[in-house]
Copies of this chain bind each other. A is one copy, B any other.
Amino acid sequence: MDFQNIFPVWNQLNTIQKNQILGSLNAQKVKKGTLLHNGNADCAGLFLIKSGQLRAYILSDEGREITIYRLFDMDICLLSASCIMRSIQFEVIIEAEKDTELWVIPAEVYKNIMEQSAPVANYTNELMASRFSDVMWLLEQILWKSLDKRVAAFLLEESSIEQASELKITHETIAKHLGSHREVITRMLRYFQNEGIVQLSRGTIVILDRKKLEQLQNP
């Protein structure tokens, strides 16, 4: 799989722009847990994911986390190049959730091309609108949905990503995805266990009753 096949506006670039990107492109392999971008202090550039999984999250002053979106094969990460737009006034952290292969387009190279090219600028708009939509979805979840529904939705999402009913995930990690506390998640999962929805053991959650989870998620 080549970069040219993944980058959606490749065919709308001219030869000079194509050469600028290919000449500066940086292929990387990173291990699960690697921090790829840490707030506005660094401006790594645009990430194109060849394979793997990234997580973008925000951090409170007290060290609490909440996942704002996740990216998978062939997705593009714009906010790792947030310095290319001065109106982006928030900080996200981007971490590899699995071992990941990616290409990096340096921020300056992308910015120069975006300033000249309407197709690239409009494509960037669509990328930002997608991430904006993710955050609006999250905002609505937090505002209007109770935590049991959010935990149910998260377990179903994880199960779908991993294609498995047995999830290797700690309560602490779920808390960090959902912006909650470990104790609160543990209490909720024990309630799910009492209802026969999941079975808990150390570091593992087995989904026993997918239908009940789906009913919880969309009552």
Task: Identify the A interface with B (CB < 8 A).
Answer: 58, 60-62, 64, 66, 68, 85-90, 114-118, 121-122, 124-133, 135-140, 142-144, 179
A61 to B131, CA, bound (A): 23
Chain B residue, CB-CB nearest to A132: B132
Q: Is the CB of A86 within 8 A of B135?
A: no
A66 to B141, CA, bound (A): 13
Chain B residues with CB below 8 A from A66, complex form: 143
Q: Is the CB of A129 within 8 A of B85?
A: yes
Chain B residues with CB below 8 A from A85, complex form: 125-126, 129
Chain B residues with CB below 8 A from A64, complex form: 143-144
Interface of A is mostly: helix
Chain B residue, CB-CB nearest to A91: B136
A64 to B139, CA, bound (A): 13
Chain B residues with CB below 8 A from A60, complex form: 140, 143-144
Q: Is the CB of B135 within 8 A of A136?
A: yes
Q: Is the CB of A125 within 8 A of B126?
A: no
Q: Provided the pairs A114-B122, A136-B135 are in contact, do residues A88 and B129 lie with their beta carbons within 8 angstroms?
A: yes
A170 to B197, CA, bound (A): 44
Shortest Cβ gap from A18 to chain B (Å): 17
A87 to B142, CA, bound (A): 21
Shortest Cβ gap from A133 to chain B (Å): 4
Q: Provided the pairs A61-B144, A137-B90 are in contact, do residues A132 and B121 lie with their beta carbons within 8 angstroms?
A: no
